[in-house]
Structure 1
């Protein structure tokens, strides 16, 4: 065969694409199943990363809203008796005068219980505590009132109460204006708070005005918890100075904690199990790659006549290898694209149903698709080499 004839018999890359596409069309069910394996693997990986990223984004949004500049001050224990010490009555005022402090609120634990009526036993507390609260408490907590109103100088002196949202649910209170029994006296509910993720103890409490608690419930005026909100730049400094400010003689009797640390830790460790789930997605992707390799090997066996004809017309071994690797890449690429779409849709459904922001990291999409191309190349190498090694004469005879 002349060189001109050999040259004209060789196929261009465009011809290779069309030949490969034709080969894929001749076995649609096998192609679909092989591509499905790739799609499931990539969809799993995209969904795992996307759901983890969406959850973390929600936590970070919550932290931005709640702030990481709030500190909680509580009394420590007496080293000799083990009893809890009392914070000074003027501790909230002393903390409020510190440089960098913006808002200070306080609560004081009361011994009374809260019930719907006297027909309910005092022992059935429902996990609800009664606390005295200062007027600035809500500002320090950055809390909001879901319905009703917060204390003011007038309502805080009289038998009125504000319920945390969990306490309201357990008491069966849905709207302000209803009454609850605290101790032996009825108090009117003037407000129900929205959730407070940084102060779960407030969510389960019935709050009475600071002055009203002293006049009506025998509150001694010693705060049990102090919540202070400072500027972001001064949090560290304020935290170190609070114990000496509240109790100069015994600073070890004062505990200072950061309520947002739990959310920060959760955000930092979000996706701790992602590697395990990504491993499962990788296994699915590997299985899909094996399916592609199997499809291509069978393709070589079924298309020996085509391979022999091309080789007899002058196609080189390299062109045969390129053809089958191209088909493998097409098969894997289609599965990869389907997997990216399925994984993104799954993440969107999960995020919307959970009220989260929809986040699919670009690196996950790029990495997932690159993985499919790598799998497709590896899966197609052996079938391509096997096809290229076929003898044209034997291949035509087999056909």
Structure 2
């Protein structure tokens, strides 16, 4: 009819049309972090205690590796300063088991070897006991030995003085003595000077110096060192060297080492011991590394225990949050999204513990290294490996709870009390 408008009737809503996209929206990384942090925010104490187990394991591992690396760096620094080209030639034993003696000319003969850069020596004064005063019983020697020493000894062994001065051309022929670090402690000598005296072989010697610990000649730490001439004149020293300290061109180290015994004592080379002190320090470092491996095992056990705690926390979280899971499923969340939520929560929990453990382990390393006056070294691979380990632990610990949460049907979850 003219003038009437045709009205198209509205179509009632019906089922979805074929081809329509029904895929639920994807969770963006920011959304994953947000939903994963829900359980941590609502139960902070439980989350803290679970993360603490991870933190203890990581802190133990970082601390052990850091302290071990710092100790190794200190050893490398010492060897760099002291040198690794020192060989020692010392008196051994005869075939009958008695203490052997090197010839008086041993030092001069070794100096003739071409690659030898310098030679110094000490000779033990056998019958000279060292005491603080005449009132000390003779049996209380304190394990201290008296040695005659050459004037160039300090340069050869890389020793330094803690106090006072070293023997010189003016004092080595007179009753002056330099004490090793341990000797000074055992005798109770804290200062040097004309009024500080000790008994060496029954005679009073003035303490003119005290050494720092000698890394490459530990026998000097428990020694009382006097000049070679005064030892021969007043203490009955026979002039035979006991230990020779030889600096060698490193390019010919092995060749010189092979001929030192025969050169130092041509008549009985089997009665001479040749060693390289830096090898002993390297062996000590290897022992420390073995002990480090043991401690790392302890840290790994603590980390696994922490992972079990995270898994336990996540299982309980799934049981307590069935209503939440059912509600999210009824609103369209997929099984994959539920699984991602709980897996993200487990990873966040472990990551928090891992970061905290790295910080604590680094602080322990820096503090201990500063106390020992070592360089602080925190291996980057330990930090990265520690964080990676926490993520692996978190993924393994959260996998089963996440799968269990994803398998809950909406009706079952909503019906749970």
In the aligned structure 1, how far is the partner of 2:26 from the partner of 2:260? 83
Aligned position for 1:45: 61
Task: Tell me the secondary structure at the aligned position of residue 273 of structure 1.
Answer: helix
Offset from partner CA, 1:81-131 (integer Å, 9 cap, x none)? 443332221211121221222221111222222334444454443322222
Shift of 1:372: 1.1
Question: Does residue 190 of structure 1 match 2:205?
Answer: no
Is 2:267 the counterpart of 1:249? yes
TM-score relative to the length of structure 2: 0.87
Quote the offset at 1:8 in angstroms: 5.8
Answer whether contact 2:87 2:277 (CA < 8 A) is retained: yes
What residue number does 2:328 align with?
310
C-alpha displacement at 1:337, in angstroms?
A: 0.9
Larger Rg: 2
Contact 1:176/1:192, CA 8 A, preserved across alignment: no
Distance 1:47 1:169 in 2: 32
Moved over 6 A (4+): none
Measured after TM superposition, the shift of residue 183 of structure 1 is 3.2
Give the secondary-structure state (helix, strand or coil) at the position aligned to 2:177: strand
- Give the aligned partner of residue 139 of structure 1: 155
Q: Deviations over 1:158-196 (max 9, x none)?
A: 222222222223333321322333334332222222221
Residues 103 and 139 of structure 1 are in contact (CA less than 8 Å); yes or no, is this contact kept in structure 2? no
Q: Distance in 1 between matches of 2:339 and 2:409?
A: 14
Q: What is the DSSP-based 3-state SS (H/G/I as helix, E as strand, rest coil) of the residue aligned with 2:277?
A: coil
What runs of 5+ residues in structure 2 fail to find an aligned partner? 1-14
1:181 aligns with 2:195: no
- For 2:37, what is the secondary structure of its paired residue? helix
CA distance in 2, matches of 1:253, 1:69: 23
- Aligned with residue 233 of structure 1, among 237, 244, 251: 251
Look up the match of 2:119. Answer: 104
Tell me, in whole angstroms, the C-alpha distance in 2 between the residues paired with 1:10 and 1:74: 78
Q: For residues 77 and 40 of structure 1, what CA distance do their matches in structure 2 show?
A: 52
Match of 1:367 in 2: 385
- SS of 1:169's partner is helix
Q: Distance in 1 between matches of 2:325 and 2:26?
A: 13
1:63–1:264: 8 Å Cα contact kept in structure 2? no
Alignment of 1:372-387 (within 5 A): 372-387=390-405
Q: Secondary structure at the match of 2:207?
A: strand
1:114 matched to 2:130? yes
Which of residues 353, 361, 374 in structure 2 aligns to 1:343? 361
Query: What RMSD in Å do the two structures reach over aligned CA positions?
Result: 2.4
Alignment pair present for 1:259 and 2:277: yes
The question of 1:357 aligning with 2:372 is answered: no
Alignment of 1:314-329 (within 5 A): 314-329=332-347
CA contact (8 A) 1:6 1:314 kept: no
Distance verdict in 2 for CA 1:380–1:251, change over 3 Å: same
